Amino acid sequence: MSAAQLAVDPVTAARRLLGATLYGRDVVATVVEVEAYGGPPSGPWPDAAAHSFRGPTPRSAVMFGPAGHLYTYRSHGIHVCANVVCGADGVAGAVLLRAARVIDGCGAAQGRRRAGVAPAAIARGPGNLCEALGITLADNGIDLMDRRSPVRLELNALQEGAAGPRVGVSQAADRPWRFWLADTAEVSAYRRSPRAAAPGDSD
DNA sequence: GGTAAGATCAGC
DNA sequence: CTGATCTTACCT
């Protein structure tokens, strides 16, 4: 039923995901930082920074499907990143999970990261988040709202969030589509992509 | 079939 | 700032 709450535009979905409870493999965490991504030029939310911008491909297919499913991809040949698909079925949109606070299963999470990471940094950053929660490329496409899924999501009450530009994108780099819970130690540091156009240039 | 760029991260 | 490491998508 709560998948319907995600069948909306990426910005609204992103705000609704702040404070959500994410159940990974033997780890439970609270989502504290997200980024909204739109879709192709023909859709309602054109976004040149989105993987779905050039239409459906084998990789981006999941984002054109129903809301509440998981889209995972490999970043820079090294890391796995996780998105929650949003928007109506057939319309591409997604929210990247950037950081979370581990509230249960700290040991399991820490065991997957290299030794010595600070508690606040265990699931900080999209690649680290997936590593800590045990999310892999094999999880691509699963239904996060299905009780039987190995990775699940539960939405909570709407929380106030701060907004700012997205991290690491070279396109639409000024669009304030990154949202986070204020005063949260687990939020990742902002880094503009070295390939982004000069600040102030239009999308 | 070749290749350039990439929604990252850690170490110097 | 740089290197690691590899998949995708677009080009010829």
> For C5, which residue's CA is nearest its C1'?
A77
pLDDT of amino acid A203: 73
**According to the model, what pLDDT value does residue A189 have?**
85
Residues with CB under 7 A from strand B: A 35, 37, 49-52, 63, 71, 74-79, 81, 83, 94, 96, 113-114, 117, 121, 125-129, 166-171, 188, 193, 195
Check residue A198 and give its pLDDT: 87
Covered bases, chain B (protein CB within 7 Å): 5-11
pLDDT tens for A192-203 read 988 898 888 867
> Which strand C nucleotides have any atom less than 7 A from protein CB atoms?
2, 4-10
| Eight-state DSSP code of residue A11 | H
Which stretches of chain A score pLDDT less than 70? Answer: 1, 202
Phi-psi group of A69: left, alpha or beta (phi > 0 → left; psi -120 to 50 → alpha; rest → beta): beta
pLDDT at A1: 60
Q: Helices (H), strands (E): how many in chain A?
A: 3, 8
| Residue that the structure tokens 């994108």 belong to | A169
Instruction: Give the pLDDT of residue A119.
Output: 96
A83 C-beta neighbours (distance < 10 Å), count: 26
Beta strands in chain A (DSSP E): 21-23, 28-37, 70-75, 79-85, 94-104, 152-154, 162-164, 178-180
Regarding pTM above 0.85, the answer is yes
Question: CA A52, CA A159: separation in Å to the nearest integer?
Answer: 28
**In 3D, which of A87, A79, A112 has the Cα closest to residue A14?**
A87
